[in-house]
Structures are given as C-alpha cells and as structure tokens.
C-alpha cells in the first residue's frame, strides 16, 4: 500500500504534503484523485505543493480525469516492462500524431527523482528505455506526458 506523509481530503478538496494531516470526514491518502482546491488547507504548511499535485486558486476546479484526452494518445495502452524491475525498464505507448513526450519519476513521498525530456516523437508505437538509479527499493510513480495528456503509473523497484 502506498502511504504519504500528507493527506488528501475530498471534503476539503486539497492536498497537503506535510506532517499535519488535513482534517475532515473523508480524508484519504490518495494523491491520484484529480480534483484539487487550495481553500481550507493549513496556511503554515511549507510543502503545500507537491510535484504530483496541482493546487488551484480557491473556487477554481480542474477535473483532469474527465478532461478530453489530447487526440492520438491512448492511455489504456501504456505499459512498463518489466515491472517489478531493478531500475532498468522500458515504457511503451502509442500516439496517433507527432507530440512532445516527457517522463518524470517520483518517490512515494512525491519528490521528483528524475526527469526525462524525450522531445518530439513521431506518430505510432513508441518505447523509451530508462535507467533509473533509485535511492532504494520500493514503489515509485512514473508520470508520462504526451502532448498535453498525461498518465501516472506505479513502478516497483527491487
């Protein structure tokens, strides 16, 4: 199970990556939820923004899960092979048109570990071979961005 030092709170609609949990009846440890608002978060939290979480101005709503995908990127076709792995793996995906591609690897606390700018990639089946030097074994999060669409996947490093 993935644990985080902060709490995502669906009733207060915010995420705080700090030691003080956000209080509320629906508090969970789920940073993959896609609705985030900045209101009702602790004002003294030094790590209010995590690289995995976008906080928006009070009253602003972004539903990334319901947003239309950018044309030509099939999120259901993304694979990581092998998974689990030793830090060397490949990411496979398909894109219907030429688009810029970026990959970020985060640890379980949401800290950016490595970033890969793959530049403009042509349409078709794609693969990227990555060699990642983790700080230790465990669960990491890989964020693949193709054009404006993105997907977060879990990677287990042994």
* pTM for the predicted model, two decimal places: 0.55
Higher pLDDT, 44 or 122: 122
**Position 72 confidence tier, pLDDT thresholds 50, 70, 90:** low
Q: Which of 9-13, 48-52, 108-112 has the lowest mean pLDDT?
A: 9-13
Identify the CA nearest to 138 among candidates 90, 88, 86, 103: 86
* Mean predicted lDDT score pLDDT of the chain: 68
Range 75-157: architecture per CATH: Sandwich (2.60)
First to last CA, the chain: 15
Domain boundaries, the chain: 1-67, 75-157
Q: Which of 54-58, 109-113, 130-134, 138-142 has the lowest mean pLDDT?
A: 54-58
């Amino acid at each position: 199970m993935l644990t985080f030092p902060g709490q995502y709170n669906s009733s207060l609609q915010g995420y705080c990556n700090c030691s003080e949990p956000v209080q509320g009846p629906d508090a969970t440890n789920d940073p993959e939820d896609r609705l985030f608002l900045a209101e009702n978060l602790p004002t003294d939290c030094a790590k209010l923004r995590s690289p995995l979480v976008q906080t928006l101005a009070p009253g602003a709503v972004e539903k990334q899960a319901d947003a239309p995908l950018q044309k030509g990127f099939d999120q259901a076709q993304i694979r990581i092979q092998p998974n689990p792995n030793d830090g060397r793996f490949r990411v496979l995906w398909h894109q219907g048109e030429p688009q810029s591609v970026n990959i970020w690897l985060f640890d379980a606390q949401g800290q950016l570990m490595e970033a890969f700018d793959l530049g403009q990639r042509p349409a078709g089946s794609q693969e990227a071979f990555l060699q990642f030097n983790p700080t230790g074994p465990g669960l990491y999060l890989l964020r693949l961005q193709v054009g404006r669409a993105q997907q977060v996947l879990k990677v287990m490093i042994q």
